[in-house]
Chains A and B, each alone.
Chain A
């Protein structure tokens, strides 16, 4: 029995010299939702483009439903449904026309196609808007149409590249429900990329954290969080200017406090027992002459997991990616 998706040592460098993937590897079991989590620019979209046959890797190998994507792209295309980042809707056509043409691409015709189209329009709440030009659809409606189009030929494996970007929270929750149903009720394998930590936490049964073109951690969200022993301690410093790496001698020596990082005014650390570590931590900071604005102790989040494996917070990585894009 083969895995639904296998990516093995994918390397991709774009003509301008941007190295998008540097040996990316992961496996997805059939019938599950797998999340690729990472900031913008981490290589998630490039991975999806390779797995969906839109582009080819420079090195490495990938299979979808056991079919090699480079050797038999046409067979892979019949097996997969793709919702790409942004949208693929033809905004000059109606919702129904979009779905119908998409069906035609997979050799679906006649009464069977019409039936599928109507069912999908119904299911995604587009029945009333079915014969309106998609240009007039809201962002959420276009997104739902995108997903309906990806399902018209009942694919085994579904790729969703940032499916909820640009949606408001309410629409996002609706979309999450729909995506969960795809795996739970229809036994589809879903590869989801996202840069929303909570989205990966909510939807994915397993996830891979991607940073700079590589998988840096993989597992169930729970296991990844569990791996971080103890609690996360977040301290907001009042005058960060005095922090000059001299923390090693003070905070660094405390028992049961590890993984200390400072980013701007945020100090983060891990402690076996967060509540008990706080007084000693505050004392140590005070002794160094650093004032504290607030302290928070929390169970580990995916953000902490990310920090642990990449040495940066997710927000800092996003900001960095935005910087590069500029």
Chain B
């Protein structure tokens, strides 16, 4: 109970901080819109490739952009933590009785909230330009849920790295090293059966691909719920591991002070 309460206090702090930066909020919300429209236009005709079973590229792409956005934003979560480290805010928390788990979880819940807001905007826009999601509201809700899971997972990873590296430049390097390859080693832009064999194999182990597959399946006309459940399950497990990793990383930070 204490843990939940402390987590929510921390989430409150982060959301309030976000709300006070209207420019940042604006850019955060507009960016995925640009991706959806830009990539949607650029790759419009790939569905004409034989074997690409989709009738609208935007409808195919939208779950991918939702997932990609979730990762892109949450992967930077550790930057704010580094700022807290530099300002002595984290040290102040660590000498109080607050649980370390709450310090991390508070940030991850905030990332999940941001992911859901962004996702609503992307899906609304996709519907506006003519895409349809036969899976209905339930399917879209599952898409939001797996994206939030993925966002929280990358948030955990990013915060763990932040505590170990403690340098903005190092974290920027790490995030950039990870984010784009994971996007392109997944079926975000292209149907899995059209990807080279080795990428298909690698994608099986890529959490971004798990989220894309689950989200796309859930929003399709005949969802394969077994696949959705297994991918969501993997994401939950990985999120748990990242949470443990980030919480333990406080020890690394405390050894350095």
Interface: A237 (CB within 8 A): no
Asked if B97 contacts A106 (CB within 8 A), the reply is yes
Q: Which residues of B contact A54 (CB under 8 A)?
A: 91, 94-95, 254, 257
Name the CB-closest residue of B to A52: B95
Taken together as a complex, chains A and B put the C-alpha atoms of A104 and B8 apart, in Å, by 11
Taken together as a complex, chains A and B put the C-alpha atoms of A105 and B92 apart, in Å, by 10
Interface: A91 (CB within 8 A): yes
Partner of A88, one of B9, B91, B254, B257: B91
Q: Which residues of B contact A86 (CB under 8 A)?
A: 87-88
Q: Mark B77-95, 1 if CB is under 8 A from A, else 0.
A: 0000000100111011111
Interface: B222 (CB within 8 A): no
A residues 78-106 in Cβ contact with B at 8 Å: 78, 80, 82, 84, 86-93, 97, 101-102, 104-106
Q: Mark B239-257, 1 if CB is under 8 A from A, else 0.
A: 0000000000000001111
User: Given contacts A87-B87, A90-B89, is CB(A101)–CB(B257) below 8 Å?
Assistant: no
User: Given contacts A77-B97, A93-B16, A105-B98, is CB(A88)–CB(B255) below 8 Å?
Assistant: no
B residues 4-50 in Cβ contact with A at 8 Å: 5-6, 9, 13, 16-17, 20
Name the CB-closest residue of A to B84: A90
Taken together as a complex, chains A and B put the C-alpha atoms of A237 and B254 apart, in Å, by 49
How many Å from the CB of A51 to the closest CB on chain B?
10
User: Given contacts A77-B96, A106-B97, is CB(A88)–CB(B20) below 8 Å?
Assistant: no
Partner of B17, one of A15, A53, A93, A106: A93
Taken together as a complex, chains A and B put the C-alpha atoms of A88 and B17 apart, in Å, by 16
How many Å from the CB of A134 to the closest CB on chain B?
11
Q: Which residues of B contact A55 (CB under 8 A)?
A: 254-255, 257
How many Å from the CB of B10 to the closest CB on chain A?
8
Taken together as a complex, chains A and B put the C-alpha atoms of A104 and B89 apart, in Å, by 15
Asked if B95 contacts A77 (CB within 8 A), the reply is yes
Partner of A104, one of B6, B87, B94, B254: B6
Name the CB-closest residue of B to A74: B97
Asked if A87 contacts B88 (CB within 8 A), the reply is yes
How many Å from the CB of A307 to the closest CB on chain B?
32
Most buried by B among A87, A101, A133, A149: A101
Taken together as a complex, chains A and B put the C-alpha atoms of A53 and B84 apart, in Å, by 18
Taken together as a complex, chains A and B put the C-alpha atoms of A55 and B250 apart, in Å, by 11
Interface: A185 (CB within 8 A): no
Interface: A49 (CB within 8 A): yes
Asked if B257 contacts A78 (CB within 8 A), the reply is no
Q: Mark B157-178, 1 if CB is under 8 A from A, else 0.
A: 0000000000000000000000
Asked if A84 contacts B91 (CB within 8 A), the reply is yes
Name the CB-closest residue of A to B93: A105
Taken together as a complex, chains A and B put the C-alpha atoms of A52 and B97 apart, in Å, by 11
Interface: A170 (CB within 8 A): no
Interface: A112 (CB within 8 A): no
How many Å from the CB of A96 to the closest CB on chain B?
12
Main DSSP-derived SS at the B contact region: helix
Taken together as a complex, chains A and B put the C-alpha atoms of A101 and B256 apart, in Å, by 26
Asked if A149 contacts B95 (CB within 8 A), the reply is no
B residues 223-250 in Cβ contact with A at 8 Å: none
User: Given contacts A55-B257, A74-B97, is CB(A84)–CB(B88) below 8 Å?
Assistant: yes
How many Å from the CB of B257 to the closest CB on chain A?
5
Asked if A102 contacts B96 (CB within 8 A), the reply is yes
Asked if A88 contacts B87 (CB within 8 A), the reply is yes
Taken together as a complex, chains A and B put the C-alpha atoms of A107 and B3 apart, in Å, by 11
Taken together as a complex, chains A and B put the C-alpha atoms of A53 and B250 apart, in Å, by 13
Taken together as a complex, chains A and B put the C-alpha atoms of A78 and B256 apart, in Å, by 24
Taken together as a complex, chains A and B put the C-alpha atoms of A133 and B67 apart, in Å, by 35
Taken together as a complex, chains A and B put the C-alpha atoms of A62 and B254 apart, in Å, by 17
User: Given contacts A15-B256, A54-B257, A105-B98, is CB(A82)–CB(B92) below 8 Å?
Assistant: yes
How many Å from the CB of B76 to the closest CB on chain A?
16
Taken together as a complex, chains A and B put the C-alpha atoms of A106 and B92 apart, in Å, by 12
Q: Which residues of A contact B88 (CB under 8 A)?
A: 84, 86-88
Q: Which residues of A contact B9 (CB under 8 A)?
A: 101, 104-105
Q: Which residues of B contact A101 (CB under 8 A)?
A: 9, 13
How many Å from the CB of A163 to the closest CB on chain B?
13
Partner of A84, one of B2, B92, B98, B256: B92
How many Å from the CB of B149 to the closest CB on chain A?
27
User: Given contacts A86-B88, A88-B88, A92-B17, is CB(A15)–CB(B96) below 8 Å?
Assistant: no
How many Å from the CB of A153 to the closest CB on chain B?
8
A residues 105-142 in Cβ contact with B at 8 Å: 105-107, 133
Name the CB-closest residue of A to B256: A15
Taken together as a complex, chains A and B put the C-alpha atoms of A77 and B91 apart, in Å, by 12
17 contacts between A and B (CB under 8 A): A55-B255, A55-B257, A56-B254, A74-B97, A82-B95, A84-B91, A88-B88, A89-B87, A89-B89, A92-B20, A93-B17, A101-B13, A104-B6, A105-B9, A105-B93, A105-B97, A133-B20
Q: What 12 additional pairs, Cβ within 8 angstroms, besides A55-B257, A84-B88, A86-B88?
A: A54-B91, A77-B97, A78-B97, A89-B89, A90-B13, A90-B89, A93-B16, A97-B13, A97-B16, A104-B6, A105-B6, A105-B97
Binding site for B on A (CB under 8 A): 15, 49, 52-56, 74, 77-78, 80, 82, 84, 86-93, 97, 101-102, 104-107, 133, 149
